[in-house]
Homo-oligomer: A and B are copies of this chain.
Amino acid sequence: MTITLKVALLGAGTVGAEVARILTQDAAQLQARSGAALELSAVVVRDTAADRGPHIPRELVSSDAEAAIDGADLVIELMGGLEPASTYIRRALSRGASVVTGNKALLAEQGPELFALAAENGAELSFEAAVAGAIPILRPLAESLAGDTVTKVMGIVNGSTNFILDKMDREGADLEAVMAEASALGYLEADPSADVEGHDAAAKAALLATLAFGSGFSIDQVHTEGITAVTAADVEAARAADQVIKLLAVVERSEAGVLMRVHPTLISREHPLAAVHGAFNAVFVEAQNAGELMFYGPGAGGAPTASAVMGDLVMAARHRLAGSAEPTRLAAEPIAALPVQDAITRYALALDVADAPGVLARIAQVFADHGVSIEAMRQNGHLDGAAELRIITHAGTQRALDATVAAVNKLDVVTGITSVMRVEGN
């Protein structure tokens, strides 16, 4: 006896087309793995006239999402955006159909509500494809580390900005030149602001925090800075200090709550995240017992993202057959999201200062007055009698560090602060 599960596919873009291909080409293997034949029953698109190739037969193409959802056991949502995706996912979950989605924007806004709806209806809402493409990260966080306590997650979760920063590092080029090249290579969207201003990474940060800490978080709780202010000089200074600049999504747990932030970050070249080149993604996890783990792989692309969708689909099918859906469970008591001023980080600063006796002492005194301790200080003389001073601090709250920077900026011996960047890792 063959059991058949009907699969409705909402959206047939790059990822959706790959999902349809895999459902067709690997049908036998998928059946062996899931225990049921996975039959593509409908493909919902806006433009039903377009030819979508051999893996999406015309007779399955429809614009009637409701009918497609109501006739399916499993629903794959790859339309993106808030609406109508949200309405469709709610409809499917309410009917008890499990849903697989890659929609980070929706989950970062409505995740907790949708998880609750899934749980109420004994359905699953899976979303491995929403963070770091093909990299298995959500299942390891939720299951493999279920007996441990995750304290911090740092991710390179936006391939476009990693491609840009990596190229700046390798070639010494400036941001504009590299962005033009990335755009020509198709690594940037027509409107690159979601990438370069950090919003894409921020949505993923909220999802990582939700899974790592078991409480619902949304994108507006994430402090977000993009890479637009990173200069070739910053990259060069990092290189001289054996460091590299990466756009990191950092989420961390303390007694007080969870702190989420996205910003350009200095890390040592010895750190595993420093070896993540080009458009690759990686997620670095610190857990109380496991120590430091890293998950690395392609963060985007049709086939890699489809791999994540298919893994979720096979597991949803298995659980459906066994009557054992495993809905995402969030803590009964929500965990507070903390303001970025509470973040404990190290700062690297570059200052233009007068090259005169006593300058270093005066600046160091300002740091001491604010309770910020200096790890390293280095002065490079300029030809014109001015000097550049580079300071790396020990860890302090962002509140104290920002107050220090403001006070230093008021000193008459300081001509300007040319760079302030956070430092992560040892």
Chain A positions within 8 Å of B, measured between CB atoms, are 18, 22, 26, 29-30, 32-34, 128, 134-136, 139-140, 143-149, 270, 272, 274-275, 277, 287-298, 301, 303-304, 306-315, 318-319, 322-324, 326, 331
Do residues B148 and A307 form an inter-chain contact, with CB atoms below 8 A? yes
Do residues A304 and B324 form an inter-chain contact, with CB atoms below 8 A? no
Least CB distance from A36 to B in Å reads: 13
Specify which chain B residues have a CB less than 8 angstroms from the CB of A272 in the assembled complex.
275, 296
Specify which chain B residues have a CB less than 8 angstroms from the CB of A318 in the assembled complex.
146, 326
Can you tell how many copies of this chain the complex includes?
Answer: 2
Specify which chain B residues have a CB less than 8 angstroms from the CB of A26 in the assembled complex.
147, 149
Do residues A310 and B293 form an inter-chain contact, with CB atoms below 8 A? no
- Which of A147, A289, A318 has the largest number of chain B CB atoms within 10 A? A147
Closest 10 interchain pairs by CB? Answer: A147-B310, A324-B324, A136-B144, A289-B307, A134-B290, A290-B307, A293-B297, A136-B140, A275-B275, A146-B314
Do residues B140 and A33 form an inter-chain contact, with CB atoms below 8 A? no
Do residues B290 and A33 form an inter-chain contact, with CB atoms below 8 A? no
In the complex formed, the residue of B with least CB distance to A146 is: B314
Do residues B298 and A147 form an inter-chain contact, with CB atoms below 8 A? no
In the complex formed, the residue of B with least CB distance to A314 is: B146
Check A292/B287 contact, CB under 8 A, given A144-B308, A148-B307: no
- Which of A29, A134, A135, A270 has the largest number of chain B CB atoms within 10 A? A134
Instruction: Give the complex CA separation of A30 and B318 in angstroms.
Output: 25
Instruction: Give the complex CA separation of A322 and B297 in angstroms.
Output: 33
Instruction: Give the complex CA separation of A294 and B276 in angstroms.
Output: 11
Check A145/B324 contact, CB under 8 A, given A290-B134, A290-B298, A304-B290: no
Instruction: Give the complex CA separation of A181 and B362 in angstroms.
Output: 47
Instruction: Give the complex CA separation of A331 and B315 in angstroms.
Output: 17
Check A331/B32 contact, CB under 8 A, given A146-B315, A314-B146: yes
Do residues A308 and B290 form an inter-chain contact, with CB atoms below 8 A? yes
Check A33/B146 contact, CB under 8 A, given A139-B139, A304-B290: yes
Q: 21 A-B residue contacts at CB 8 Å? A: A18-B289, A26-B147, A32-B331, A33-B146, A134-B293, A135-B293, A136-B145, A143-B315, A144-B308, A145-B311, A147-B309, A148-B307, A270-B277, A272-B275, A275-B275, A288-B303, A289-B303, A289-B307, A289-B310, A290-B297, A290-B308
Specify which chain B residues have a CB less than 8 angstroms from the CB of A295 in the assembled complex.
293-296
Do residues A301 and B297 form an inter-chain contact, with CB atoms below 8 A? no
Instruction: Give the complex CA separation of A349 and B307 in angstroms.
Output: 38
Specify which chain B residues have a CB less than 8 angstroms from the CB of A139 in the assembled complex.
139-140, 143-144
Least CB distance from A330 to B in Å reads: 11
Instruction: Give the complex CA separation of A293 and B326 in angstroms.
Output: 25
Specify which chain B residues have a CB less than 8 angstroms from the CB of A34 in the assembled complex.
146
Instruction: Give the complex CA separation of A251 and B165 in angstroms.
Output: 34
Instruction: Give the complex CA separation of A312 and B146 in angstroms.
Output: 8
Do residues A307 and B147 form an inter-chain contact, with CB atoms below 8 A? yes
One of B145, B274, B309 near A307 (C-beta < 8 A): B145
